[in-house]
Amino acid sequence: MKKWNLVIDVALCENCNNCALATKDEHIGNDFPGYAAPQPRHGHHWIEIKRRIRGSDPMVDVAYLPTTCNHCDAAPCIVAARDETIRKRSDGIVIIDPLKAKGRRDLVHSCPYGAIWWNEELQLPQKWIFEVHLLDQGWRQPRGVQACPTGAMRSFHLDDEAMQAMALREGLETLHPEWRTKPRVYYRNLHRYAKCFIGGSVTVVREGVPDCLAGAKAVLRAGDKPIAEAATDVFGDFKFDALAADGTSYLVEVSHPEFGAAQQAVELRDQSIYLGEIRLGGNRELFLGGMK
């Protein structure tokens, strides 16, 4: 049986909030019996975009992470409800019954992702319903997907085998797989938000003036093992991305056949690291990092 899935590309999200606004436009002031009661005008973010800034000047990037109900196949909220107050449809979509859930504020805290919101006026827990009321009428995608101008958010109606094959083929990930909730919301380029980078800028002195060095070789080592390799771009920059901030000690080696080599040890803890200017040539020092 085909089921609904959402795929979000973190690298394409520009924080325009069209998806969130389209969802609010659909649900604020609108009652869809059997699916969802009206969303309040203020306080709820059924689609919420989180932001993370990585690195330091001048090597900085910003990633945006749209989050929402994950429509988990092993949903903790369904377990907490203990009855048909929350149910999973055969197409994979999880629904909080707007009548049976009245007064069940405890369900808000049952979602480890924080995707359930409390409607104080209606005394009701609520969340994003994948616009299933529209899908049941023949729509091919939720409004949030339809409103995304960059294609960062896409929906897929596939059987589980096909979806898992896509996830494996395209390197899709879910949020907190260690929680074993089996989300149906997948992310591409999740490392842009969830992991760190180590980068630097390589220069040489030409005619007495510092100049960017393109084509230098940069190698990242963990212990004696090389784990990544990059070449500097026209600005002399290199970056090793998708690294876990777990306290691992790395050695960065930079070399060029004409201008020599330099290296620096670095420990990656909780933030991305920009090594600064790495000057090759002459005495072959690693400037600003202070290592030779």
Measured between alpha carbons, how far is 156 from 64 in angstroms, rounded to an integer? 21
- Residues 12-65 have pLDDT tens digits of 999 999 999 999 999 999 999 999 999 999 999 999 999 999 999 999 999 999
* C-alpha triplet 239, 271, 248: angle, nearest 5°: 80
Q: Are 150 and 45 in contact (CB under 8 A)?
A: no
Q: How confident is the model at residue 282 (pLDDT cuts 50, 70, 90)?
A: low
Tell me, yes or no, if the two domains 3-193 and 196-279 fold the same way: no
Q: So where are the chain's domains?
A: 3-193, 196-279
pLDDT at site 286: 42
Owner of token pair 């999880």: 94
Domain at 196-279: CATH code: 2.60.40.10
Task: Tell which CATH architecture fits domain 3-193.
Answer: 2-Layer Sandwich (3.30)
- Residues 1-23 have pLDDT tens digits of 999 999 999 999 999 999 999 99
Owner of token pair 């026209």: 234
- Residues 247-272 have pLDDT tens digits of 999 999 999 999 999 999 999 998 99
- Residues 64-106 have pLDDT tens digits of 999 999 999 999 999 999 999 999 999 999 999 999 999 999 9
